[in-house]
Amino acid sequence: MSTLPTGTARTSMKTYVGIDLGSTTSKAIILDDNGEILGRGITNSRSNYEMASSVARSEAYVNAKFTLFRRALADRGGSGGSAEELERSFRLEQYFAQLRLLEKFTNLEVEGPRYVAVRAEATPRLEQIFAGMREQAPRFFDAGARRKSDFFRDIAGGSFQAHAEKAADPKLANYSMLLSLYDKAILRVENEPVELGFDANIGPALVRVLSGASDAQREACRAATEYSTSTVFNEVRAVGTGYGRARLPFPKDRIRSEILCHGLGAHAMFENTRTVLDIGGQDTKAIQVDKDGIVTSFQMNDRCAAGCGRYLGYIADEMNLGLHELGPLAQTATRTVRISSTCTVFAGAELRERLSLGEKREDILSGLHRSIILRAMSLLARSGGVEDEFTFTGGVANNAAAVDALRALVKENYGERRLNISPNSIYTGALGAALFSRRDAMTEAKYEGAAA
């Protein structure tokens, strides 16, 4: 299936992989021999950790190919803009590939015995829905397009719903029946390996992008593509971490605790890091590291999950808001309501009571964000305080209201600290794992070399 022009020699490139199996998402990082990040991949993990791990890893390898493409293009004086355009076009190709699969499974589903009665009405409507979805698809990958999420399930789901609403008929083929077809098919899509690789999908993507390009551009892109596709990755070692790490089919010495990985990952992102706070969906970690990124002490939230990201999820549900809307709304608060309980069990009750007392939503939210950070503050204190520099990672680090509260409380309790937040903070654990895999492989090579 290679689009490799004949006569081009393949070059091999060593890679080191880190995989972080989280409770809500799984992440992969690929490093090259120099320890530079080649690629990042992320997927929403479902119950199947093995699948999640393989999806994240292949995503990261696709991303790595684009890195190579970008490097090659830059060498040939091409602009970053065309690399970006090509990547969007490529994503569209991937989307089409998955969409074809979705359509296939939906059709298989409707052929099943459950749908005998509605089949005749459903089939043409499904055709109509998928035609609409194909037509709509390019818009999701336009420059600057705003997507709810990057996951196929979410993009296609929204698009399917919109078209199904139009196509449905309350009597002949109703909306919920159509949706149930989708729900079944999407599960199969997520568990079916599909060729989303760079080499397989770059051809059509390239054609689309280069349709109006100059000869020079065309030549640069063609050469860069050739370089990327001709490069074969030689994965030297992979290290797994995260909540689901025990389920990885890795030998024990290829598995590292997320504490160590977070510590090292944060150090790699900001090398002066001494304290790391990670607030994820299920747990909160406070980690102290030395100048080499080696963990010197850590604390995790106790058995009570109060104050984790999940708590914000409950609150968002309770307020009928999207998770990402909480922070901005909280930032509009004029005062901060004191919230005493960060107990997930009581969160809803306390919220309703505050609302019934006439408190404003944003003021309550501001209080809720503060209360989560207060829990984190106590973990930080247990682990040894907040040293300079201080790096904040995990999903909650993307929440501006939480960051504001953290900044204020750290200043109040520990004085001025430089607070680092990376836009790629979600990859901190995976990066640490990748660095461990590179380090381990090199140590091993050294010993083997010495033995020889």
Partner 1 sequence: MTRTDVLKDDSQQRQKDLIGGYFTRLANAPKTGHKTVATFVPGNLTELISCFDAIPILPEINALQSGMRKLSGNYITEAERQGHSEDVCTYVKCDIGMFEGGNIGPTGEALPKPDLLLLSYTGCFTFMKWFELLREKYGTPSVMLHVPYQGQGEVTPEMRKYVVEQLERVVIPALEHTTGRKFDIDLLREKLAWSSKAEDDLVKVWESAKHRPSPIDGYFGGVYYIGPIFTAFRGTQEGAEYYALLRSEIEQRIREGRGPVTPEGEMKEEKFRLVVEGPPNWTHFRDFWKMFTDEGAVVVASTYTKVGGLYDRGFRHDPKDPLGTLADYCMGCYTNHSLPNRVDLISKYIEEYSADGFLINSVKSCASFSAGQLMILREVEKRTGRTGAFIESDLVDPRYFSAANIKNRIESYLQMLEQKRSSVAGAAR
Partner 2 sequence: MTRSPEQIAADCESIYYDLEFKPARDWKAAEPGRKVVGFVPVFCPREVISAAGALAMSIVGAGDWLEVIRGDAYYQSYLCHIPRSIVELAVSNRLDFVDGMLFPSTCDVIRNLSGMWQMLKPGSFVRYVDVPQNYEPEIGGRFWEGELRILAAEIGKLTGVAVTDDSLRESIRIWNENRAAVDEMYLLRRDRPDLAPTSEVYVVLRAGNVMDPASHTKLIREYIATARTSKRAAVDSSRVVIVGAFCEQPPLALIKTIERSGCFIVDDDFLLVSRWYTAPVAETGDPFKALANAFVKHTIPTAVMYSPKTGRGGALIERVKTARAEGVIFAAPSFCTPALLDQPMLVDGLEKAGIPYTAFKYAENTGQFQPIREQTGTFADTMKLWSAV
| Contact of residue 296 among partner 1, partner 2, none (CB under 5-8 Å per partner type) | partner 1
416 binds partner 1 (CB under 8 A): no
| Distance between CA atoms of residues 61 and 67, nearest Å | 10
**Nearest distance in Å: CB 443, partner 2:** 37
**Nearest distance in Å: CB 415, partner 2:** 14
If the CB atoms of residues 244 and 395 are measured against partner 1, the closer one turns out to be 244
The DSSP code sequence of 198-258 is: HHHHHHHHHHHHGGG--HHHHHHHHHHHHHHHHEEEEEEEEEEESTTGGGSS--GGGB--H
Classify residue 149 by burial, with Cβ atoms within 10 Å: 0-12, 13-18, 19+. Answer: exposed
The DSSP code sequence of 174-192 is: -HHHHHHHHHHHHHHHHTS
**Nearest distance in Å: CB 384, partner 2:** 10
296 binds partner 1 (CB under 8 A): yes
Binding mask 378-407 for partner 1 (x = CB under 8 A): ----x-------------------------
Residues 353-382 that bind partner 1 (CB under 8 A): 382
| Distance between CA atoms of residues 449 and 109, nearest Å | 57
Strands 11-21 and 231-241, bridge-based pairing: parallel
Q: Which residue in 40, 65, 125, 256 binds partner 1 (CB under 8 A)?
A: 256
Residue 90's alpha-carbon distances to 76, 82, 131, 197, 252, in angstroms, are: 21, 12, 20, 10, 37
Which residues are CB-contacts of 430 (< 8 A; sequence separation ≥ 6)?
Answer: 18, 19, 20, 27, 28, 29, 40, 241, 261, 265
344 binds partner 1 (CB under 8 A): no
| Distance between CA atoms of residues 105 and 132, nearest Å | 17
274 binds partner 1 (CB under 8 A): no
Q: Which residue in 150, 302, 317, 444 binds partner 1 (CB under 8 A)?
A: 302
**Nearest distance in Å: CB 259, partner 1:** 4
| Contact of residue 346 among partner 1, partner 2, none (CB under 5-8 Å per partner type) | partner 2
**Nearest distance in Å: CB 243, partner 1:** 8
Q: Which residue in 45, 63, 299, 391 binds partner 1 (CB under 8 A)?
A: 299
| Contact of residue 6 among partner 2, partner 1, none (CB under 5-8 Å per partner type) | none
152 binds partner 1 (CB under 8 A): no
| Distance between CA atoms of residues 360 and 351, nearest Å | 11
Q: Shortest CA distance to 277 belongs to which of 155, 386, 170?
A: 386
Q: Which residue in 248, 259, 365, 406 binds partner 1 (CB under 8 A)?
A: 259
Residue 434's alpha-carbon distances to 199, 212, 233, in angstroms, are: 24, 40, 15
| Distance between CA atoms of residues 16 and 433, nearest Å | 9
Residues that bind partner 2 (CB under 8 A): 302-304, 306, 338-341, 346, 349-350, 352-353, 356, 374-375, 377-379, 381-382, 409, 413
| Contact of residue 339 among partner 1, partner 2, none (CB under 5-8 Å per partner type) | partner 2
Q: Which residue in 54, 161, 174, 257 binds partner 1 (CB under 8 A)?
A: 257
**Nearest distance in Å: CB 315, partner 2:** 15
**Nearest distance in Å: CB 65, partner 2:** 47
**Nearest distance in Å: CB 298, partner 1:** 7
Question: What DSSP designation does 80 have?
Answer: H
Q: Are 27 and 262 in contact (CB under 8 A)?
A: no
Run of H or E residues at 332: none
297 binds partner 1 (CB under 8 A): yes
If the CB atoms of residues 310 and 375 are measured against partner 2, the closer one turns out to be 375
Length reported for the chain: 452
| Contact of residue 171 among partner 2, partner 1, none (CB under 5-8 Å per partner type) | none
Report the interface residues with partner 1, using CB under 8 A. 243, 246, 256-260, 290, 292, 294-300, 302-303, 382
